[in-house]
Amino acid sequence: MGDYEIVQEGDPRCAELEAAGYRVVAESWAVRLYDPDRDLLESAVRRATAGGLTVRELGPESASALHELETTNQPDYPDTPATRREVGDLAKVRELWSEHRVFGAFDGNRLVGATVIREHEGHGDTAFTSVLAPYRRRGVGQAVKAASILAFLDIGITRFSTGGAATNQASLQANRSLGYTLTERWRTYAP
């Protein structure tokens, strides 16, 4: 992390850092979802499938497709000290299945969107959601995230969380459309 300080907005340290000459170089957010609306989630999946996509859970046999999706999208990820996403090699992507579940959207045989989620301390925590550029702003991210939430509801998990970079307002809006509420904002300061 170097000389960066990541501080929740509203923390008195924000004023102290600013007085000491630190400047905000990035911002990020966290959202939470409690007791999701199943009909809303199912509707998000239906919209994607009505558009010709297949939305389903992926097994480790889909690691190559997920790696290709992530490698293609790597340049589009916001790269801040608080929101860094490093894809890694195929072996690293394959390791995701040891602790996570993966849900994807296919256009024919091509994986065009995916979300990766795990159970953490009794809630579903989304690590990342990724959609190919030509499919963005078409509900694909919402659909794969909705599918993941529905699967977790089926095993009794009703609380969810995720976060992202403030520069990625589309991601924040996609989460809000599924019922997530903004709970935290963070500032990254540099000297």
Indicate which CATH number applies to the domain containing 171: 3.40.630.30
Stated as kind and residue range, the H or E segment containing 14 is helix 12-19
Residue 82 pLDDT: 78
Q: Whose CA is closest to 148, among 170, 110, 173, 174?
A: 174
What are the tens digits of pLDDT across the range 81-93? 777 778 889 999 9
**Residue 166 is part of which domain span?**
5-190
Q: Is the dihedral of CA 109, 100, 113, 138 positive or negative?
A: positive
Stated as kind and residue range, the H or E segment containing 72 is helix 63-73
What are the tens digits of pLDDT across the range 24-82? 999 999 999 999 999 999 999 999 999 999 999 999 999 999 999 999 998 888 788 77
pTM: 0.91
Number of structural domains, the chain? 1
